[in-house]
Structure 1
């Protein structure tokens, strides 16, 4: 019975939060792409610094090990990004001799920090940062699944509250993820499918948590830190550079406001989640 509850709870939290985020991002907010990127950057950094890292540091693992994990995580996601760029032949760096072998370099618009915004959808399975986001998301959702499973095993009501809390605080974060994937010119449906699959990993975490809750508990801080490193990396390496264009005062103010809003949303959701 507990296992069924864990599976239902983790799937509702993992995939429900993605679909709710998609309904918001693609429906109401679709027109405000630039603002949504600011919101995404704020939400991702806040998820990492105010939610995941503090939780990791509350565990039994020492600060030195966790900071080392964070550093290795950042380097890993940087290399993942490199491999992805290399794999797609989309070298965005302005090397003089590189553009001639880049068979669709003509469609790149370099004004957004060199990101391929103008690439036709058929040629753009992903953009820098999308693998980092999906890897980080999967790790994060796996960790969420373990947390939900532990809560259900302690008490059914606590489990239900944990699942709802995860669902709530994941919404602003998944809106950020969907914006990152959308800005890579992949279509909405693919972005939704990718993030939903990452969300479904919550159920795997739930299963793993059910069978291995004691063994995995010691590793939870590491999961949290690796997920954090991916969100910090994507926010600083992929989103912020797109926002670093020269803007008028009012546009800059709007950008900072939306960045703050992203941070605020996650903070409120996290504090509500912790209040229970």
Structure 2
């Protein structure tokens, strides 16, 4: 779905989606995933500071992986153009396209594992994680599609391979769900990895893209969309829903007392 949406959004104000995705990823990492991970780590007898140690390890790990081109989130900056410059090597470009597909497949498989861990923690958290990843993947699949076209793939083949890579997330999700179900003690660690992934993508990839577009009007629009992403996660988060439900229950408990008091007065 992210692949199809990404291609449909090509040149249709997709930069607004970048800001929305950045806000959603930041909110998911800081407001939902890290608190859930910390709760799980504390239940296992670890200190509160251990969360930040694992978070640091995750951030450094994603930095190293990107340097090794396993997670190449912002390769579209280098390959969006389709004009072949002097000395263009079609065979080399084709190999580059296949490397992008391999890296994207691994990345999608990992996304599936992260979504599975979130679902095992809380169903609503799982859906929020899936939506947040989907917002980013729309742009990611758009960039993959552009790279494959530049590498000499036809539009049909590029779309088919991009969709096939997207299905790796389903495989990762199914395997992750069954594996992590038997090893629930690992779920908090996977949540920390998920949070570090979201933070790294937002800060190292999406926000630089946002800052590349200058101007007051563009800045205000970007800020508004980023805040919309944060608000979306906060409003749909399990914590907010729980708080709202608690307030409703308290109101229902207080209502009979108020009714009895009013009758006694009358």
Q: TM-score range by the shorter chain?
A: 0.5 to 0.7
> Partner of 1:62 in structure 2?
47
Within the alignment, does 1:179 sit opposite 2:139 as a pair?
yes
Equivalent in 142, 158, 162 of residue 116 of structure 2 = 142
Residue 239 of structure 1 and its aligned partner are, at CA, apart by 1.1
> Partner of 2:186 in structure 1?
219
Q: How far apart, in 2, do the equivalents of 1:66 and 1:37 lie?
A: 28
Aligned 8 A contact 1:144 1:166 in 2: yes
Residue 246 of structure 1 and its aligned partner are, at CA, apart by 5.1
Greater share of residues in helix: 2
The alignment of Structure 1 onto Structure 2 pairs a total of residues equal to 215
Q: How far apart, in 2, do the equivalents of 1:167 and 1:31 lie?
A: 26
Within the alignment, does 1:37 sit opposite 2:14 as a pair?
no
Question: Unmatched 5+ residue regions in structure 1?
Answer: 1-18, 93-107, 149-161
| 1:221-253 per-position Cα deviation (integer Å, ceiling 9, x unaligned) | 111001111111111111111111251111110
Q: What TM-score comes out, normalization by structure 1 length?
A: 0.64
Within the alignment, does 1:256 sit opposite 2:216 as a pair?
no
CA-atom RMSD, angstroms? 3.6
| 1:102-138 per-position Cα deviation (integer Å, ceiling 9, x unaligned) | xxxxxx9xxx9x54322679544539x9689546523
Residue 170 of structure 1 and its aligned partner are, at CA, apart by 2.1
Residue 65 of structure 1 and its aligned partner are, at CA, apart by 1.8
Aligned 8 A contact 1:133 1:177 in 2: no
Q: How far apart, in 2, do the equivalents of 1:74 and 1:230 lie?
A: 7
The range that moved more, 176-185 or 63-72, is 176-185
Q: How far apart, in 2, do the equivalents of 1:231 and 1:145 lie?
A: 17
Q: How far apart, in 2, do the equivalents of 1:131 and 1:56 lie?
A: 26
Residue 193 of structure 1 and its aligned partner are, at CA, apart by 3.5
Equivalent in 159, 176, 179 of residue 208 of structure 1 = 179
Within the alignment, does 1:118 sit opposite 2:81 as a pair?
yes
Within the alignment, does 1:76 sit opposite 2:61 as a pair?
yes
> Partner of 2:198 in structure 1?
231
Q: 1:39 to 1:70 in 2, by over 3 A?
A: same
Spell out structure 1 runs of 4+ moving beyond 6 A. none
Q: 1:63 to 1:166 in 2, by over 3 A?
A: same
